[in-house]
Structure 1
Amino acid sequence: MRWTRRTGRAKLPWRLSARTLVTCSISTIIGFSAICASVMIDLRRGEEVRARQALENLAAGIGADISRNIELYDLSLRAVAGNMLLPEINEVSKPIRHLILFDRASTAKNFGAIQVFDAKGRLAIDSATLDPLPDDRSDTAFFQVHRDRADAGLYVSRPAEHQGRTAIVLSRRISAPDGRFAGVVAGSIRLSYFRDLFGQLSLAPGIGITVFGRDGTIIVTAPFDQAAIGRNLARVPDVTRALSEPSGWSSSSGALDDVPRLLVWRNAGGPLVVVASRSWDGVYAVWRNEAAQIGALMLALIVFVLAATQVAAREIQLRAKVESRLERLATTDPLTGLKNRRKFDETIEIEWRRAQRAQVPLALLMIDADHFKCYNDTHGHQAGDQVLVGIAVCISDSVRRAGDCAARYGGEEFAVLLPATAQADALHVAETIRNKVALWAGEATNTSISVGVASVTPSRETDWTTLMNAADKALYMAKAAGRNRCITVPVPRPQPAAALAA
């Protein structure tokens, strides 16, 4: 506590209350928790973006490889279809005809032999042999599609047994110069090609790859699922989007296993569409571990902060009680229990400013024990102290409002400050105190008091010493008039500057 030079008031230092500490701690915890939650949400979104980008790259890479091989194989089919229209093709020997029609594509690993079927679906030429065995494919889908549609282009069949292996058949129509149907050239890509391609990849748990035909038929899956091959999912909304949109992603339960998945596709316009997927559990696996670690650290930090706050709050409360007790001791007269001189000076400064702002009267009673020195010398200090305590009790019984301030001003002198009290009311309080002291004293001690009363509405031109001087003057008048009485005097008003100059 320190005193200001200008006002003489005690200025209390700022104190951190237990409630403020708890509020700040909880606010800090909430703030850090919100920041942590925001960071975790950003990390979660980052995992989603990284997973989507990885699946896009995977789908794009696999799709590019498949499209390139199909394009190369289709070039071989186109060459065969074009060369079959040469007039001399049937006049050369079979070995020469094979050299003209077929390149090395038909002998590549996982690619079946290229075959030529006539207009009736009978096998005419086979790249694998000079003398093919009789074979009729007039009832197959690829033959009927080309027979019925001149604009079918490259046709990719559903997975089926072809030349003793499960494969997809790639075929093109052979049209005569006049547009007539002249047959079909067909080749195959075995499903082992896709399995070998997927086998070169190191796929994390939960990642799946599905290759669809343009009609929504599953060609192959990774991990390999024999039961899924050949199933048509064209009516599944996500598959419909993958077949119609160039690229995109979606989130839904897997059509094959009902596991929530992130689906990403790249559709380059080729005959096959690659869809890469990953289960959301796999996407968030790393994030969950990080979230659990960060959450555990945050929980430990929160528990520590709360425990430390509780300990600190308890210490602050104990300190506040001690300081409050010390403050009471520092502002209370130990003998009478009333406020002391220092507390009174502080209070009158505050109440003077308040009354000045509100323009209400402020009253002051200055009380002095009559013949106290003589009584004290005759009966001793202990008896004198009892008289002072009795007067203090009478004052306390008469002054009960919350804003009133009763103080021992010094020695046998007391002061009572009455906010918002006019002169007549203040005089009534003074008479009440005087009568109570007289009733308490009786004839045993013959103790009485003299009271000086003053009341004024503060103005900007005056300070509280004006009120104090007026009350002191009234007190001396009461003593001069014979003691054991209350006298009031008006507080002098400040004179205008012009009057002072005159």
Structure 2
Amino acid sequence: MDTHGLLDTLRREIHRRRRMSARLMVVFSMITVLGFSAVCGSVLIDMRRGAEDLARQTLENLAASIDADIDRNLELYDSALRTVAGKLLLPELSAVDPTIARLILFDHSVAAPQFGAIRIYDQHGNLMRDSAVPNPAAENRADQPFFTAQHDDPNLGLFIGKPQQLDGAYSLIVSRRVTGQDGQFLGVVAGSIKFDYFQDLFKRLRLQPNDMIAVLAHDGTLITRAPLTPELIGKNMMFTPGVQKMFGRRSGWFAGAGTLDGVKRMFVWSDSTRPLVVLVAKSWDDIYAMWRREAIWIGIALLVLATFVAAVTVFFIHEIDRRAEAERRLEELATTDPLTGLTNRRKFDAAIDAEWRRAARQNSSIALLMIDADHFKAFNDSFGHQAGDQMLVGIAVCIADTVQRASDCAARFGGEEFAVLLPGLSVQAAVSVAETIRRKVEQWSNLEGGVTVSIGVASTKPTASQHWQDLVEVADRALYGAKELGRNRCVVGGRSEITLVA
């Protein structure tokens, strides 16, 4: 390969690498943005899980704390009920003064504002004694659940009834059976826990508007809740799937919607084996509030990064394209004859070298026309250099108008000489093209002072022993043959002879 062919190959390789650089930059930018997106997505998923775990742990701690407080007070009050029930079995109690007996029975009663008075009912449900007053009014509670439950089940233990109005306020009735030595039912010791206790307990907590706390009995009865909803107090909630899950496991959580407001929440309980079970809930919106803010900021940062990367990528690709276009124009200027606009000698040499090799590989023909303006020096001397230049431009226009295939190459070979490379054409087809060019120049020359051209035609199938310069030499000899035969004609050249064609 000659110097021109090597330079052309290197130039094509540089262009290929620059196109590849633009593609690689786009791919790299996409990988960068996708990589950051994957990392941010993973971080957001971990943060979301962390928010869920933190909320669950917080709710578990809250449920356990409320559980412990309620259980402690309930156990304290139950202890007082058992003490009273035990003292009722003392044989000496019936022999002492009623006032002294009252002091003996209730001396260990729990005196706290959240607890109601302890009352003793006989086996028929009649009120016998009241810790609040020495002489209680007569009443019968034989039809009340706290009494009938103890009467019917000797092994019931502590009974927790449904919330009800007692002494002008909502209270939770609790009771203990009084059983004789022989197992005989002797009556019931009953007391109450005021609802104010639960509300005061809940008020000490810092709850969000959508937070919820519910206290339930083991039969599914809603004892109380915060925020307080009077129409739900005492209702059985066992029909809800969440409550069923709560009594199916000792501790855990579930996702569900509020019965009244429909707010989606996380529900958590810590110990469903206690007499009263505490269920606490927080809305998912509150759980994810901080995570959502962080996600928005991360999303904005990622969007800014993606925009910046895209802008930088577009800028650099634009710069690469601009530089490639500038180099293409420079190359075009470097390979184009400035006067005629045809390919110059340097570009022509690279083109014929490449087409010669292709023809040799494919065993196809390659034709060449060598064209020279007749009497150019005399024309130039008579009409001046500007007229000579115009004459050369006119010849170039006639050539370019005839040679229009993408593989063809028309070039200014030097001075008033032109060359036309016609890959794949036989000698007959090449002569037809040459004649068309000659006639066009002749027709144009009638208006421009009688300018004509002589054309040498050569065509061959390259062999390993030949070089493209051999084709140029044969076409050049044919051109001189046309000159010697009187000009304004086409001549086909061969290695051994020159044949007149027209």
**CA shift digits 1:174-217 (9 cap, x unpaired):** 33344432322222222222222223222234222121222333
CA contact (8 A) 2:44 2:295 kept: yes
CA contact (8 A) 1:363 1:419 kept: yes
CA contact (8 A) 1:452 1:472 kept: no
**Aligned residue among 365, 368, 378 for 2:368:** 365
SS of equivalent to 1:143:
helix
- CA distance in structure 1 between the partners assigned to 2:226 and 2:372 by the alignment: 108
SS of equivalent to 1:157:
strand
CA contact (8 A) 2:380 2:387 kept: no
**CA shift digits 1:52-81 (9 cap, x unpaired):** 332222222212322233234334434444
1:139 alignment partner in structure 2: 143
- CA distance in structure 2 between the partners assigned to 1:241 and 1:296 by the alignment: 41
CA contact (8 A) 1:158 1:168 kept: yes
Change (3 A) 1:7 1:319: closer
**CA shift digits 1:77-121 (9 cap, x unpaired):** 344445544555545666776687667462244123333322111
1:9 alignment partner in structure 2: 9
- CA distance in structure 2 between the partners assigned to 1:36 and 1:72 by the alignment: 53
- CA distance in structure 2 between the partners assigned to 1:349 and 1:177 by the alignment: 126
CA contact (8 A) 2:455 2:478 kept: no
SS of equivalent to 1:120:
coil
RMSD (Å) for aligned C-alpha atoms: 4.2
CA contact (8 A) 2:222 2:232 kept: yes
**Aligned residue among 487, 491, 494 for 2:492:** 487
Indicate whether 1:476 and 2:477 are aligned. yes
- CA distance in structure 2 between the partners assigned to 1:5 and 1:397 by the alignment: 27
Matched letter for residue 9 of structure 1: T
- CA distance in structure 1 between the partners assigned to 2:96 and 2:249 by the alignment: 48
Q: What pairs up with 1:298-313 in 2 under 5 angstroms?
A: none
CA contact (8 A) 1:370 1:449 kept: yes
**CA shift digits 1:308-332 (9 cap, x unpaired):** 7788787777666655544432322
Indicate whether 1:342 and 2:355 are aligned. no
Change (3 A) 1:136 1:403: same
Change (3 A) 1:356 1:158: farther
1:332 alignment partner in structure 2: 336
**CA shift digits 1:106-142 (9 cap, x unpaired):** 2244123333322111233444566555442212111
2:116 alignment partner in structure 1: 112
CA contact (8 A) 1:394 1:433 kept: yes
Instruction: Flag structure 2 segments of 5+ consecutive residues without an equivalent.
Output: 497-502
- CA distance in structure 1 between the partners assigned to 2:334 and 2:65 by the alignment: 85
2:500 alignment partner in structure 1: none
Indicate whether 1:256 and 2:260 are aligned. yes
Shift of 1:155: 1.5
CA contact (8 A) 1:454 1:467 kept: no
**Mean Cα deviation higher: 151-160 or 248-257:** 248-257
Shift of 1:405: 1.8
Shift of 1:428: 3.7
Matched letter for residue 467 of structure 1: W
Shift of 1:143: 0.4
Indicate whether 1:216 and 2:204 are aligned. no
**CA shift digits 1:324-370 (9 cap, x unpaired):** 5444323221111111223334434554565566x252514141416
Shift of 1:441: 4.2
CA contact (8 A) 2:85 2:176 kept: yes
1:274 alignment partner in structure 2: 278
Indicate whether 1:448 and 2:453 are aligned. yes
1:202 alignment partner in structure 2: 206
**Mean Cα deviation higher: 37-46 or 466-475:** 37-46
Shift of 1:37: 6.3
SS of equivalent to 1:234:
coil
Matched letter for residue 74 of structure 1: D
TM-score (norm. length: structure 1): 0.79
Matched letter for residue 470 of structure 1: L
- CA distance in structure 1 between the partners assigned to 2:9 and 2:19 by the alignment: 22
CA contact (8 A) 1:470 1:490 kept: no
1:183 alignment partner in structure 2: 187
Shift of 1:409: 2.8
- CA distance in structure 1 between the partners assigned to 2:360 and 2:269 by the alignment: 81
1:231 alignment partner in structure 2: 235
Shift of 1:43: 4.2
Indicate whether 1:169 and 2:173 are aligned. yes
- CA distance in structure 2 between the partners assigned to 1:183 and 1:29 by the alignment: 81
Instruction: Flag structure 1 segments of 5+ consecutive residues without an equivalent.
Output: 492-502
Change (3 A) 1:136 1:429: same
**Aligned residue among 376, 390, 394 for 1:390:** 394
- CA distance in structure 2 between the partners assigned to 1:67 and 1:238 by the alignment: 22
CA contact (8 A) 1:117 1:185 kept: yes
Change (3 A) 1:116 1:284: same
CA contact (8 A) 2:76 2:110 kept: no
SS of equivalent to 1:426:
helix
Change (3 A) 1:37 1:91: same
**Mean Cα deviation higher: 448-457 or 80-89:** 80-89
Q: What pairs up with 1:20-59 in 2 under 5 angstroms?
A: 31=34, 40=44, 43-59=47-63
SS of equivalent to 1:336:
coil
1:496 alignment partner in structure 2: none
Shift of 1:40: 5.0
SS of equivalent to 2:467:
helix
**Aligned residue among 62, 84, 87 for 2:66:** 62
CA contact (8 A) 2:4 2:349 kept: no
**CA shift digits 1:416-470 (9 cap, x unpaired):** 3333444543344344434444554469445322324233357xx67xx812322
- CA distance in structure 2 between the partners assigned to 1:137 and 1:236 by the alignment: 33
Shift of 1:144: 0.8
1:498 alignment partner in structure 2: none
**CA shift digits 1:382-404 (9 cap, x unpaired):** 34433432332232122111222
Shift of 1:49: 3.7
